Amino acid sequence: MNTITKIKALAEEGKEKCITWRRYLHARPELSFHELETSSYIQQQLHALGFDNVTTIGDTGVFVTLEGKEKGRTLLLRADIDALPIQEHSSANYQSTVPGVMHACGHDAHTAMLLLATQILKTLRNEWNGTIKILFQPAEEVIPGGALKVMAGGILENPTVWRAIGQHVFPELPVGKVGVRPGKFMASSDNFFITIHGKGGHAAMPETLVDPVVIAGHVIVALQQLVSRNRSPKMPSVLSIGRVSALGSNNVIPNEVMLDGTFRTMDNEWRERALILLTKLVTDLCESMGATCTIDIAHGYPYLHNDETLATEIKKSMKEFVGPENVVDMDIWLAAEDFAHYSHRVPSAFYVVGVGNEQKKTTSGLHTPTFDIDEDVLPLGAGLMAWLALGQLKQ
């Protein structure tokens, strides 16, 4: 029996256990850096798999090291474990039991698949050399991200990590398909919070006021022009306002309006310049209309770069595991991921696995209240990650 056949058999044997892990976690989601029960559960499962070197890292993260038959290079495999502040809309018997919190980004599946991949790699440890660091990382969903905290905890040292691999579920692809993109793959992410300070009062007496609502309208439009008229059309970039808060009434102009938004791109130089332009544009525009403003910028993740050599090798291994017809060349994705932090420290690759199935109604987008996965992806994703790790450490 060849190695791929062994991995697929072990993955299929572990499918029901993997489903159990995923559903347990899905029903008990926890927000970033509050993943206490999640962390405890992962540790319990690793102990049950025979690991006695389970440790915590980055507060609520979990880390274990797996050794092959001989010394060699060190590979990092990473899954994220936190959930989102979203109220789930589902009739599944494993739906979230925590009001207002949901695994709407598939981190429960990522964790379950990495647990099963760990079990497979442990079973086959005589077929590869080196060291695998298995990381269940907290707080992917909040700036500045848990990756920085676990890196500060030494995840990339002692022994030094040679390469890092991560995966993400992707409802836009049907289950059975996987995708990867060499080079720049995901965007940087910076959040901004603007408060426009005017002078409120009676809506029927605008001549006595400084109307921050009208000024906010000008700011929103002008910010779109900041992107469209200051950066090259060849540079992917998006600026979006996701929240406008003007606590007035039909006949009351408020004193303040708050705008919350995000800026994303894939070029560090333009990223820095754009945030300077944003600050100047909003400040000057508000002052020109008699108002003032406060601007806070939360600097987030860098863009995610897939090492060209590693991504090419992974693509070849993917074709061997799922067949060439099931490997998709991914386009750039302007979502952000704190796996990007690893990609700027060590050669890294981040790929996606399809979870979409119209018959099972698992095509809702990430970060939506109706998101779910086709659980047939669990053995596939676990087996694929094990195969990719083996492919790297058998070199």
Could you list the active site residues? 82, 140
Q: How far apart are CA 11 and CA 118, in angstroms?
A: 11
Q: How far apart are CA 250 and CA 69, in angstroms?
A: 72
Q: How far apart are CA 43 and CA 373, in angstroms?
A: 24
State the residue for tokens 């987030």.
Answer: 300
DSSP category for residue 240? E
Q: How far apart are CA 178 and CA 170, in angstroms?
A: 9
Sign (positive/negative) of CA torsion 12, 14, 18, 19?
Answer: positive
Q: How far apart are CA 104 and CA 372, in angstroms?
A: 7
Q: How far is CA 141 from CA 23, 32, 157, 162, 256, in A?
A: 20, 7, 24, 26, 29
State the Cα angle at 275 between 269 and 278, rounded to 5°. 135
Q: Shortest CA distance to 196 belongs to which of 300, 263, 281, 298?
A: 281
381 neighbors 109 (Cβ within 8 angstroms): yes
Sign (positive/negative) of CA torsion 376, 63, 96, 334?
Answer: negative
Q: How far apart are CA 99 and CA 29, in angstroms?
A: 10
Q: How far is CA 76 from CA 10, 301, 348, in A?
A: 21, 19, 9
